[in-house]
Amino acid sequence: MPPLFDRLLQYLPLPRILSPLPDLLLAIAYGLPPTLRALWADPGLIVHFKRLQEVFQANFWVVFGPEVDKAAAPVKVQLLPYAQGVVLEIGAGHGHSLKYMQRAKISKYYALEPNTDMWPGLRKALVEAGYSEEKGDAVILPYGAGDIGKIAEHLGGDNTVDSLVSILVFCCVPGAKDVLPALCQRLLKKGGSLLMYEHCLSPVPSSRLYQRLWTPIWSIVFDGCRLDKDTMGWVNQVKWSDKHIWRKEGEPEWSLFFHGIGRFTM
Protein backbone atom coordinates (compact mmCIF):
# COMPACT_ATOMS: atom_id res chain seq x y z
CA MET A 1 0.00 0.00 0.00
CA PRO A 2 1.41 3.46 -0.87
CA PRO A 3 2.86 5.49 2.02
CA LEU A 4 0.03 8.04 1.80
CA PHE A 5 -2.59 5.40 2.56
CA ASP A 6 -0.41 3.91 5.29
CA ARG A 7 -0.24 7.28 7.03
CA LEU A 8 -3.95 7.97 6.60
CA LEU A 9 -4.94 4.61 8.09
CA GLN A 10 -2.42 4.96 10.91
CA TYR A 11 -3.81 8.25 12.10
CA LEU A 12 -7.39 7.98 10.84
CA PRO A 13 -8.49 4.38 11.37
CA LEU A 14 -11.63 3.69 9.38
CA PRO A 15 -14.84 2.39 10.93
CA ARG A 16 -15.73 -1.16 9.95
CA ILE A 17 -18.31 -0.09 7.36
CA LEU A 18 -15.63 1.86 5.44
CA SER A 19 -12.89 -0.78 5.62
CA PRO A 20 -13.15 -1.75 1.91
CA LEU A 21 -12.60 1.86 0.81
CA PRO A 22 -8.75 1.90 0.67
CA ASP A 23 -8.61 -1.22 -1.52
CA LEU A 24 -11.30 0.20 -3.78
CA LEU A 25 -9.43 3.47 -4.22
CA LEU A 26 -6.12 1.70 -4.82
CA ALA A 27 -7.64 -0.52 -7.50
CA ILE A 28 -9.02 2.51 -9.31
CA ALA A 29 -5.74 4.42 -8.96
CA TYR A 30 -3.70 1.55 -10.44
CA GLY A 31 -6.18 0.24 -13.01
CA LEU A 32 -7.83 3.32 -14.45
CA PRO A 33 -4.84 5.11 -16.11
CA PRO A 34 -3.76 2.13 -18.28
CA THR A 35 -7.39 1.44 -19.11
CA LEU A 36 -7.87 5.01 -20.30
CA ARG A 37 -4.66 4.72 -22.35
CA ALA A 38 -5.99 1.56 -23.99
CA LEU A 39 -9.26 3.34 -24.72
CA TRP A 40 -7.37 6.31 -26.20
CA ALA A 41 -5.41 3.95 -28.46
CA ASP A 42 -8.55 2.08 -29.52
CA PRO A 43 -11.78 4.11 -29.00
CA GLY A 44 -13.78 1.14 -30.25
CA LEU A 45 -13.21 -0.53 -26.87
CA ILE A 46 -15.90 1.75 -25.43
CA VAL A 47 -18.52 -0.77 -26.60
CA HIS A 48 -16.54 -3.76 -25.27
CA PHE A 49 -16.93 -3.39 -21.50
CA LYS A 50 -15.66 -6.91 -20.77
CA ARG A 51 -12.45 -6.23 -22.67
CA LEU A 52 -11.92 -2.94 -20.81
CA GLN A 53 -12.50 -4.76 -17.56
CA GLU A 54 -9.81 -7.32 -18.48
CA VAL A 55 -7.30 -4.53 -19.19
CA PHE A 56 -8.22 -2.85 -15.90
CA GLN A 57 -7.85 -6.09 -13.91
CA ALA A 58 -4.56 -7.15 -15.44
CA ASN A 59 -2.95 -3.77 -14.80
CA PHE A 60 -4.05 -3.13 -11.24
CA TRP A 61 -3.22 -6.72 -10.21
CA VAL A 62 0.39 -6.16 -11.31
CA VAL A 63 0.71 -3.82 -8.31
CA PHE A 64 -2.16 -5.00 -6.13
CA GLY A 65 -1.47 -8.72 -6.49
CA PRO A 66 1.86 -8.83 -4.63
CA GLU A 67 0.28 -7.00 -1.68
CA VAL A 68 -2.63 -9.43 -1.56
CA ASP A 69 -0.16 -12.31 -1.84
CA LYS A 70 1.90 -10.93 1.04
CA ALA A 71 -1.20 -10.76 3.25
CA ALA A 72 -2.17 -14.31 2.27
CA ALA A 73 1.34 -15.77 2.63
CA PRO A 74 0.89 -17.23 6.16
CA VAL A 75 -2.14 -19.19 4.93
CA LYS A 76 -0.55 -20.25 1.63
CA VAL A 77 2.52 -21.56 3.46
CA GLN A 78 0.23 -23.89 5.43
CA LEU A 79 -2.15 -24.82 2.63
CA LEU A 80 -0.37 -25.07 -0.71
CA PRO A 81 2.39 -27.60 0.10
CA TYR A 82 -0.47 -30.14 0.04
CA ALA A 83 -0.79 -29.62 -3.74
CA GLN A 84 0.40 -32.76 -5.51
CA GLY A 85 0.06 -34.88 -8.62
CA VAL A 86 -2.15 -33.27 -11.26
CA VAL A 87 -2.97 -29.76 -10.01
CA LEU A 88 -5.64 -27.46 -11.39
CA GLU A 89 -5.60 -23.88 -10.10
CA ILE A 90 -8.80 -21.94 -10.63
CA GLY A 91 -8.10 -18.32 -11.60
CA ALA A 92 -4.30 -18.54 -11.53
CA GLY A 93 -3.90 -14.82 -12.31
CA HIS A 94 -0.25 -13.77 -12.43
CA GLY A 95 0.86 -17.03 -10.77
CA HIS A 96 1.48 -15.64 -7.27
CA SER A 97 0.62 -18.95 -5.60
CA LEU A 98 3.10 -21.11 -7.52
CA LYS A 99 6.03 -20.36 -5.23
CA TYR A 100 4.20 -21.90 -2.25
CA MET A 101 3.73 -25.28 -3.96
CA GLN A 102 6.40 -27.98 -3.87
CA ARG A 103 7.43 -28.52 -7.48
CA ALA A 104 8.76 -32.04 -6.86
CA LYS A 105 5.30 -33.22 -5.73
CA ILE A 106 3.51 -31.95 -8.86
CA SER A 107 3.45 -33.99 -12.07
CA LYS A 108 1.39 -31.54 -14.09
CA TYR A 109 0.05 -28.07 -13.38
CA TYR A 110 -3.02 -26.64 -15.13
CA ALA A 111 -3.62 -22.91 -14.76
CA LEU A 112 -7.20 -21.86 -15.45
CA GLU A 113 -7.08 -18.17 -16.43
CA PRO A 114 -9.58 -16.63 -18.87
CA ASN A 115 -7.95 -13.16 -18.85
CA THR A 116 -5.18 -13.47 -21.44
CA ASP A 117 -3.69 -10.15 -20.29
CA MET A 118 -2.59 -12.05 -17.18
CA TRP A 119 -0.70 -14.67 -19.17
CA PRO A 120 2.70 -12.92 -19.54
CA GLY A 121 3.03 -12.62 -15.75
CA LEU A 122 1.70 -16.16 -15.30
CA ARG A 123 4.20 -17.56 -17.80
CA LYS A 124 7.05 -15.78 -16.02
CA ALA A 125 5.94 -17.29 -12.70
CA LEU A 126 5.74 -20.76 -14.30
CA VAL A 127 9.34 -20.58 -15.51
CA GLU A 128 10.54 -19.28 -12.14
CA ALA A 129 8.79 -22.19 -10.41
CA GLY A 130 10.46 -24.74 -12.70
CA TYR A 131 7.65 -25.57 -15.13
CA SER A 132 7.84 -25.79 -18.92
CA GLU A 133 4.88 -25.38 -21.24
CA GLU A 134 7.05 -26.77 -24.06
CA LYS A 135 7.67 -29.99 -22.13
CA GLY A 136 4.00 -30.20 -21.24
CA ASP A 137 4.24 -30.13 -17.45
CA ALA A 138 2.31 -26.84 -17.37
CA VAL A 139 -0.78 -25.88 -19.38
CA ILE A 140 -2.69 -22.59 -19.37
CA LEU A 141 -6.40 -22.97 -20.10
CA PRO A 142 -8.43 -19.91 -21.23
CA TYR A 143 -11.67 -20.91 -19.51
CA GLY A 144 -13.77 -19.71 -16.65
CA ALA A 145 -14.58 -21.98 -13.72
CA GLY A 146 -18.06 -22.60 -15.10
CA ASP A 147 -16.73 -24.17 -18.31
CA ILE A 148 -16.50 -27.53 -16.61
CA GLY A 149 -17.05 -29.63 -19.75
CA LYS A 150 -14.24 -27.87 -21.65
CA ILE A 151 -11.92 -28.15 -18.67
CA ALA A 152 -12.60 -31.88 -18.30
CA GLU A 153 -11.98 -32.40 -22.01
CA HIS A 154 -8.54 -30.75 -21.81
CA LEU A 155 -7.68 -32.72 -18.68
CA GLY A 156 -8.48 -35.97 -20.44
CA GLY A 157 -11.77 -36.76 -18.73
CA ASP A 158 -13.59 -36.64 -15.42
CA ASN A 159 -11.99 -37.36 -12.03
CA THR A 160 -8.44 -36.66 -13.24
CA VAL A 161 -7.33 -33.98 -10.75
CA ASP A 162 -5.41 -34.72 -7.54
CA SER A 163 -5.44 -31.15 -6.19
CA LEU A 164 -7.88 -28.37 -7.01
CA VAL A 165 -6.53 -25.00 -5.85
CA SER A 166 -8.88 -22.07 -5.19
CA ILE A 167 -7.27 -18.86 -3.91
CA LEU A 168 -9.54 -15.80 -3.67
CA VAL A 169 -11.37 -16.59 -6.89
CA PHE A 170 -14.86 -18.00 -6.27
CA CYS A 171 -16.01 -14.59 -5.10
CA CYS A 172 -15.83 -13.67 -8.83
CA VAL A 173 -17.34 -16.83 -10.34
CA PRO A 174 -20.91 -16.47 -11.67
CA GLY A 175 -23.18 -19.14 -10.23
CA ALA A 176 -20.49 -20.24 -7.77
CA LYS A 177 -23.10 -21.89 -5.54
CA ASP A 178 -23.53 -24.58 -8.21
CA VAL A 179 -20.15 -24.34 -9.97
CA LEU A 180 -18.00 -25.02 -6.91
CA PRO A 181 -19.62 -28.35 -5.92
CA ALA A 182 -19.84 -29.41 -9.58
CA LEU A 183 -16.13 -28.74 -10.18
CA CYS A 184 -15.13 -30.78 -7.16
CA GLN A 185 -17.45 -33.70 -7.85
CA ARG A 186 -16.64 -33.96 -11.55
CA LEU A 187 -12.91 -33.21 -11.66
CA LEU A 188 -11.39 -34.50 -8.42
CA LYS A 189 -10.19 -38.08 -8.14
CA LYS A 190 -11.23 -40.25 -5.23
CA GLY A 191 -8.81 -39.10 -2.53
CA GLY A 192 -8.15 -35.82 -4.34
CA SER A 193 -8.32 -32.54 -2.42
CA LEU A 194 -9.68 -29.04 -2.74
CA LEU A 195 -7.25 -26.51 -1.24
CA MET A 196 -9.30 -23.39 -0.60
CA TYR A 197 -8.65 -19.88 0.69
CA GLU A 198 -11.58 -17.56 -0.02
CA HIS A 199 -13.16 -14.50 1.48
CA CYS A 200 -16.69 -15.37 2.50
CA LEU A 201 -19.89 -14.14 4.05
CA SER A 202 -19.16 -12.97 7.59
CA PRO A 203 -20.84 -14.87 10.47
CA VAL A 204 -21.63 -11.49 12.12
CA PRO A 205 -25.05 -10.09 11.03
CA SER A 206 -24.02 -6.41 10.89
CA SER A 207 -20.93 -7.28 8.83
CA ARG A 208 -23.04 -9.32 6.42
CA LEU A 209 -25.20 -6.24 5.94
CA TYR A 210 -22.14 -4.09 5.19
CA GLN A 211 -20.80 -6.71 2.78
CA ARG A 212 -24.09 -6.62 0.88
CA LEU A 213 -24.11 -2.83 0.82
CA TRP A 214 -20.60 -2.70 -0.65
CA THR A 215 -21.00 -5.51 -3.18
CA PRO A 216 -22.72 -3.58 -6.05
CA ILE A 217 -19.84 -1.11 -6.46
CA TRP A 218 -17.15 -3.58 -5.36
CA SER A 219 -18.21 -6.09 -8.02
CA ILE A 220 -17.88 -3.48 -10.79
CA VAL A 221 -14.30 -2.59 -9.85
CA PHE A 222 -13.18 -6.14 -8.97
CA ASP A 223 -14.53 -8.04 -12.00
CA GLY A 224 -17.69 -9.44 -10.45
CA CYS A 225 -16.19 -10.12 -7.02
CA ARG A 226 -18.84 -10.24 -4.31
CA LEU A 227 -18.03 -9.78 -0.64
CA ASP A 228 -21.21 -11.59 0.42
CA LYS A 229 -20.80 -15.06 -1.11
CA ASP A 230 -21.33 -17.98 1.26
CA THR A 231 -18.46 -19.97 -0.27
CA MET A 232 -17.74 -21.99 2.87
CA GLY A 233 -21.40 -22.99 3.05
CA TRP A 234 -21.38 -24.11 -0.59
CA VAL A 235 -18.20 -26.17 -0.31
CA ASN A 236 -19.73 -27.99 2.65
CA GLN A 237 -22.54 -29.17 0.35
CA VAL A 238 -20.07 -31.68 -1.08
CA LYS A 239 -19.78 -35.07 0.64
CA TRP A 240 -16.13 -35.09 1.69
CA SER A 241 -14.38 -38.10 3.17
CA ASP A 242 -12.22 -35.77 5.26
CA LYS A 243 -11.81 -32.05 5.81
CA HIS A 244 -9.61 -29.70 7.81
CA ILE A 245 -10.92 -26.16 8.30
CA TRP A 246 -9.11 -23.39 10.13
CA ARG A 247 -9.19 -19.67 10.70
CA LYS A 248 -6.77 -17.00 9.56
CA GLU A 249 -4.73 -16.01 12.59
CA GLY A 250 -5.79 -12.71 14.12
CA GLU A 251 -8.78 -12.24 11.82
CA PRO A 252 -11.99 -11.23 13.62
CA GLU A 253 -15.31 -12.72 12.58
CA TRP A 254 -16.68 -9.22 11.97
CA SER A 255 -14.14 -8.48 9.22
CA LEU A 256 -15.75 -7.57 5.90
CA PHE A 257 -13.00 -9.71 4.36
CA PHE A 258 -13.68 -12.75 6.53
CA HIS A 259 -11.90 -15.80 5.09
CA GLY A 260 -12.73 -19.47 4.77
CA ILE A 261 -9.73 -21.80 4.69
CA GLY A 262 -9.68 -25.53 4.29
CA ARG A 263 -8.34 -28.78 2.84
CA PHE A 264 -11.21 -30.98 1.70
CA THR A 265 -10.66 -34.57 0.53
CA MET A 266 -13.02 -36.61 -1.67
pTM for the predicted model, two decimal places: 0.91
The β-bridge partners of 195 are 165, 263
- Rounded CA-CA distance 249/68 in Å is 16
Three-state DSSP class for residue 124: helix
* CATH for the 73-265 domain, from 3.40.50.150, 3.40.50.1400, 2.30.30.100, 3.40.50.300: 3.40.50.150
In the chain, domain spans: 73-265
Whole-number Å distance between alpha carbons of 160 and 108: 11
pLDDT in tens, 107-157: 999 999 999 999 999 999 999 999 999 999 999 999 999 999 999 999 999
Instruction: Tell me how far CA of residue 208 lies from CA of 129, 219, 253, 254, in angstroms.
Output: 38, 16, 10, 8
Average pLDDT over residues 220-234: 92
**pLDDT tens track for 151-203:** 999 999 999 999 999 999 999 999 999 999 999 999 999 999 999 999 999 99
